[in-house]
Structure 1
Amino acid sequence: MTTAVHDSTSKSEALTGAQRPRPTVNRMVFAGSGVTIILFSLWAILAPEQASTAISTVVGWIATNMGWFYVLTATVVTVFVLVVAFSREGTIKMGPDHSKPQYNLFTWTAMLFAAGIGIDLLFFSVAEPVTQFYGPPAGEGGTAEATRMAVVWTLFHYGVTGWAMYALMGMAFGYFAYRWNMPLSIRSALYPLIGKRVQGRMGDAVDIAALLGTIFGVATSLGIGVVQLNYGLYLLFGIEEGVAAQIGLIVVAVVMATASCVSGVDKGIRRLSELNVLMAVALIIWVLAAGRTSFLLDATVQNLGDYVAALPGMTLDTFAYTGAAEWMSGWTLFFWAWWIAWAPFVGLFLARISRGRTLREFVIATLTVPFLFILILVSVFGNSALAIVTGGDDAFGQAAMNTPERAFYSLLEQYPGAPLLIALASLAGLLFYVTSADSGALVMSTFTSTIQDPTQDGPKWLRMFWAAATGLLTLAMLLVGGVPTLQAATLIIGLPFSIVMYLIMIGFWKALRAERSQREGRSSTRRSAAASRIPGPDSHWRRRLSRTGSFPGPRAVRRYEDEVLVPALTEVVEEFRAHGRDAELSSSVVGYQDLSEHTLTVRMGEDRDFCYQIYPVATPVPAFGGFRTNPDSDLYYRLEVFNETGSQGTDVMDWSHEQVINDVLDSWEAHLAFLSIHAGPSVIQDGEQGHPDWSTDIHDVPTGQIPAAKEAQP
């Protein structure tokens, strides 16, 4: 439904090729989903009538018996993401506590804005309001009430309810990948629910369901793009509408997506996506300026008010008393299934660009920023079309309703400079079409791979396969019955993944409860930071004062590590072992100034391991009152304490032997308190996957102060 752009910026870019863990193909997920898509496509191509009958039968059954389930699921998801956003857990970051957003606010919202538009939105922005005007779900068509609600129904189908589904998947991806360093996979969100079984058949089944939903969702968008672009090419170049031209457009999408996968032009595709938005904005401004400007602005404001007022009732309306089952299956149920099918795809993109954002920021922005753009686009184009119909041009309205692929172009033909508008719309549509195929192949390759680094993508040859498979499925569905068949297939395939979404909500909530218990454990046992910094009996207040103006360089840090830090941590490890604990101290050079990180780990069996890490963080030397306290260097080094959720903001540099030991014990007692408070399994990271890397990364420390090469954590 939207076009995702690529973002490959990652911590792992600082690693050498030999150090980076390479993605591997998940053979079970790849085989299960790949074989299913190929067999289904061949069946539809070789027996189109049989396939059409079977799809129609299943859709009829779902519309009659499961419509309530789709409506309820959309409502539950919306309520869930809002509860998470405005609860105490809304302050949790999609990443370690110390992480900072990868993109500034303007860039981030602009990318959310870009995610809110695709060729299908141009298709339905005219076709749906006109269709709802003639055939509303309740009441008579062609009335003033039908006119008023026509655009509101379109906004409902493209509004916050659907974006809530994207927000749910984006939170799940971002939280478990960036905060817990788990694989970038849907099955990771189910770990708190089913444990290590996510690595087995159950996890494979979840990923297969997600992939099937994604490919049918992408194929639906491509199918809509094919028929709409075919008509645009007919207007521009006289290319006849039909199967031959549509096959050609599918081949173009597959070839260009494959070229992108092979040549690695992700940044180019991203720029094209941004250009798409600019062209869409240009079309909006043109229609707004050349049309009835004041009416369109008035209607936009009223549409927003009507949408907000009617949203609660519309969200749970199953039309149980009006018998609108056919309307429901063709509109609301189809859109909810389509949003569900696209949720893993767009959710992955939203997570990629939102690392370091809090859950509250993420949900609010995801529900509002794209919708505001959709509101303007749908209101301008939809009300412009309705103005033509209510003005007496019934032929335009009937054509828009019966041949929706022509509706948008028919609207543009009503304005000055129509040939240029049509050319601009066709170019924008073509770019939306190609970027959907490309980014869809990218996401599907990720879903069928085992990737430890959450910022990497699947192998290139796998992207090529999924680009071709998507083209084959699109062709098969068009041969069976065109866009209506694509809509019907999406309605069917969205049903199993809607069940997965409930499991994701349960698993995600369990993880957030564990996080709350962890915070409560720390607050109930850990001493304040001020208390931890009080000098021991062997110190003097003058030494404490001198530390406030001390900004140690690498040599001082290494000396302190050798003389105090490592001996203190070693002593604690030996004492843990003396008490029968499986404890170890590991150290590794982080890659700059020969400084090292030190991690004390105590294995806890089936519960979450205790880890206490000291990591050197390069920090700019501050200036107080214009006086630079260290004129010889621009940097000093903090020895910060990290745990599994990030930096604790504590600098142990120059602490005494006893102070370091006491801080470790404070953290240990807080961890034990967390395990006693939290009911249920506390392990988030699968033991077979190794331990997360809790250190800083390139987005969280001043530029240029990160190691050129840092050992990758599996």
Structure 2
Amino acid sequence: MRQASKVFYISLVISALFIIWGVIPKDVLPTWNLSNVTSNVQAFITDKFGWFYLLSATGFLIFAIYLIFSKYGKLKLGKPDDEPEYSYITWFAMLFSAGMGIGLVFWGAAEPLSHFHTTPVPGMEPASQESARAAMKYSFFHWGLHPWGIYAVLALALAYFKFRKGAPGVISAALVPLLGEKRIKGGLGTFIDFIAVFATIFGVATSLGLGALQISSGLSYSIDGLEDTFSLQLIIICVVTVLFMTSAMTGLNKGIKYLSNANIVLALLLMFSLLLIGPTGFIMDYFTLTLGSYVRDLPYMSFRLTPFVEDDTWIKGWTIFYWAWWISWAPFVGTFIARVSKGRTIREFISGVLLVPTIFGALWFSVFGGTAISLEFFNGVDIISDVQNLGTEVALFSTLQHIPLGGVMTVIGLLLISTFFITSADSATFVLGMQTTHGSLNPNNQVKFIWGLIQAGAAAVLLWQGGLTALQTAAIIAAFPFTFIMILMCFSLMKEFKAEAKSIGLKKKN
């Protein structure tokens, strides 16, 4: 434990206090329970600063795109002779598995279906052609360039300062050019790194809980007589914890690498199976139509708010929520992407991080969301009733039930959720280890073990108490101060880029 930093002990204590607060019954603290407090704080931030999240997320994307075409795109994330550690396929698999894999499986059918019935545009007729087009367009929007732009900016800053400048691989180190080494080595740097760790712990613990919910609901939905109980969810969490801890202990180049590649194989197998067996022509037409409208309307959607609409809950509950959620996940995903991106140029790095996951995600939503909407629109299948009665987590399984070979695809889907579950958790364990051991590229197994137990324990206890939503909200609240940290990172990067360009004589036409 000699590797552990002050951030480790501070984060450990505060995390434990939040978990204890989260399991206190509401009748004991009717006003000051965690759920009420975090919900009120989040509502205040969303109401007063929704515009700030919207402008910030769009600003990060614009900054990332600018760097692709700037002279700084030629700089390498490492020394001039460094080469990438991983092939393109493995690199894409690892960044994708850590980033959004389990979320895509959870929301692939559920989100477009939800927008189809509860439309993004006021006055639009639900379950109509217009709502179907808007449903898929906004699914592309929420999971496309904006979140990956957020991840790209943070990952770029970490990778650049770590591999090219030799700085510690912690969030605060990227702000040294702007704030000075003295401040970063003091309390300000500790606070910045704590905010990053706090958001990671509770963001990932919530995802572990949601993953357990989806696996248990999938099993109970598919197997007659099997009830979706807390006992089943607890067994799932215990099994997955053993697996992801084993993977995390074997290191980045074994467990995480191999499981990430397995994820991509299973994801492609499930997606293309449904594409070929399902309404293929409709799916690809839907994908093409939506891709065009997404590109056309991206500037408008990027700044869309509804100040003249009395009920603006859709924008706040979806777009603003997502932008805050992606920012809260940025310390985790960004740190992991940075760790596996050594040796790539800035242009290559940002292009890959932005385009490949965005296109894959768009195709994923078209296949799963398109199939669900096609079943309802053309065949009269009532999938939304299952979702409303049994929960969002059953949308995938309800959709597959009405497709030939749906039972086989359900098994593949459960395997995919499990492997994404494991890779997200072991990647987070690795990242938490890095962020609390002064940025070590190979954190101590003891530290990783402790963080793994905390994540699994938090998920289990809060599932039992029904407090997952409160912790998810707490993670999103942490995104508010972290947004300012990311803005400062952009200025810090530009300051360092300009200094380096001047020192090496970097020109646009080189």
TM value normalised by structure 1: 0.66
Deviations 1:596-629 (A, max 9, x none): xxxxxxxxxxxxxxxxxxxxxxxxxxxxxxxxxx
Counterpart of 2:483 in structure 1 is: 498
Counterpart of 1:546 in structure 2 is: none
2:189 to 193, 203, 206: 203
Query: Within the alignment, does 1:167 sit opposite 2:152 as a pair?
Result: yes
Question: Aligned partners of 1:484, 1:327: CA distance in 2, in Å?
Answer: 18
Shift of 1:279: 1.2
2:38 to 55, 76, 92: 55
Count of residue pairs the alignment pairs up: 497
Counterpart of 1:550 in structure 2 is: none
Contact 1:389 1:396 in 2 (8 A): yes
Deviations 1:508-529 (A, max 9, x none): 1111121122134x99xxxxxx
Structure 1's 261 and 104: CA in aligned 2 closer, same or farther, altered over 3 A?
Answer: closer
Contact 2:155 2:335 in 1 (8 A): yes
- Say which structure is richer in helix: 2
Question: Aligned partners of 1:213, 1:283: CA distance in 2, in Å?
Answer: 31
Shift of 1:220: 2.6
Question: Aligned partners of 1:303, 1:291: CA distance in 2, in Å?
Answer: 18
2:430 to 432, 439, 442: 442
Counterpart of 2:279 in structure 1 is: 292
Amino acid at match of 2:424: S
Counterpart of 1:412 in structure 2 is: 400
5+ residue gaps, structure 2, are none
Shift of 1:379: 0.5
Question: Aligned partners of 1:487, 1:329: CA distance in 2, in Å?
Answer: 15
Amino acid at match of 1:513: K
Query: Within the alignment, does 1:36 sit opposite 2:14 as a pair?
Result: yes
Question: Aligned partners of 2:99, 2:285: CA distance in 1, in Å?
Answer: 23
Structure 1's 261 and 381: CA in aligned 2 closer, same or farther, altered over 3 A?
Answer: closer
Shift of 1:384: 0.6
Deviations 1:347-399 (A, max 9, x none): 22222232221111111111101111111111111111111121353631232
Contact 1:176 1:182 in 2 (8 A): yes
- Say which structure is richer in strand: 1
Most deviating of 189-198 and 348-357: 348-357
Amino acid at match of 2:192: V
Let me know the Cα RMSD of the aligned residues. 2.2
Most deviating of 78-87 and 148-157: 78-87
Query: Within the alignment, does 1:226 sit opposite 2:212 as a pair?
Result: yes
1:121 to 104, 108, 127: 104
Amino acid at match of 1:404: T
Question: Aligned partners of 1:401, 1:277: CA distance in 2, in Å?
Answer: 30
Counterpart of 1:388 in structure 2 is: 375
Amino acid at match of 1:459: N
Structure 1's 371 and 171: CA in aligned 2 closer, same or farther, altered over 3 A?
Answer: same
Contact 2:328 2:479 in 1 (8 A): yes
Counterpart of 1:327 in structure 2 is: 314
Amino acid at match of 1:220: T
1:215 to 173, 187, 201: 201
Question: Aligned partners of 1:305, 1:30: CA distance in 2, in Å?
Answer: 46
Partner of 1:329, secondary structure, is helix
Shift of 1:166: 0.9
Q: Which has the higher contact order (CA 8 A, sep 6+)?
A: 2
Amino acid at match of 2:403: Y
Counterpart of 2:65 in structure 1 is: 82
TM value normalised by structure 2: 0.92
1:47-196 aligned within 5 A: 47-48=25-26, 50-105=33-88, 107-109=90-92, 111-112=94-95, 114=97, 117-138=100-121, 139-140=123-124, 141-196=126-181
Contact 2:57 2:147 in 1 (8 A): yes
Query: Within the alignment, does 1:513 sit opposite 2:501 as a pair?
Result: no
Question: Aligned partners of 2:416, 2:243: CA distance in 1, in Å?
Answer: 15
Amino acid at match of 2:241: V
Structure 1's 288 and 23: CA in aligned 2 closer, same or farther, altered over 3 A?
Answer: farther
Structure 1's 333 and 115: CA in aligned 2 closer, same or farther, altered over 3 A?
Answer: same
Structure 1's 250 and 110: CA in aligned 2 closer, same or farther, altered over 3 A?
Answer: closer
Structure 1's 421 and 80: CA in aligned 2 closer, same or farther, altered over 3 A?
Answer: same
Structure 1's 484 and 68: CA in aligned 2 closer, same or farther, altered over 3 A?
Answer: same
Amino acid at match of 1:46: I
5+ residue gaps, structure 1, are 1-21, 524-714
Counterpart of 1:422 in structure 2 is: 410
Question: Aligned partners of 2:90, 2:416: CA distance in 1, in Å?
Answer: 21
Question: Aligned partners of 2:260, 2:153: CA distance in 1, in Å?
Answer: 24
